[in-house]
Structure 1
Amino acid sequence: MTVHLPETIPDTTYLYGYALLIATIFVFVMSGYSIIGSKYMPDTNNKVLDWIKYDNYYCLLIPITAIVWIYWVLWNWMGMKFFRHN
């Protein structure tokens, strides 16, 4: 069943796409900085940046969890397909 919006309501789907794209770029840049870039930077005397530099656990937690999350989404989608088409 396809839902059509009235012509008086503007379609804002592209805004969600841009928001998702910006969030993805932000996470990619921050992960790259925390995993690779911060290890080569000198001490900045900033508590947050120095904590990221000397961290060995949380800098890898998000990328590794993302891999598991991708598999979870795939299996969830496949289960929904089996449920609907059974």
Structure 2
Amino acid sequence: MLGLLLIAGGVSSLALGVFAIVVAPLLPPSTRPWLAALQADRYYRLLVPVTLPVTIAFVALNWFSLKLFKHNS
């Protein structure tokens, strides 16, 4: 059950991200505040996808440093 919940969360996160980055700027101007904010945004639209590779790099560096610490006599 937890696995299905995690998969559903990942798929919905991907769908919302694709909507915010690709689809929302292509839509005509809207009067809805949340959609207008997505269309006018230039910073967070690109910040969220760039955060993923940086997070992966820091996790790998953390793993490597802990591995060195563990195997150091």
TM-score normalised to structure 1 length? 0.72
Whose helix fraction is larger, Structure 1's or Structure 2's? 2
1:28-84 Cα shifts (integer Å, max 9, x gaps): 111111111111112231101111011111111111111111101111111122222
State how far apart, in whole Å, the 2-side matches of 1:74 and 1:25 are.
24
Aligned partner of 1:8 in structure 2 is: none
Count of residue pairs brought into register by the alignment: 72
1:1-86, aligned counterparts within 5 Å?
15=2, 17-86=3-72
Larger radius of gyration: 1
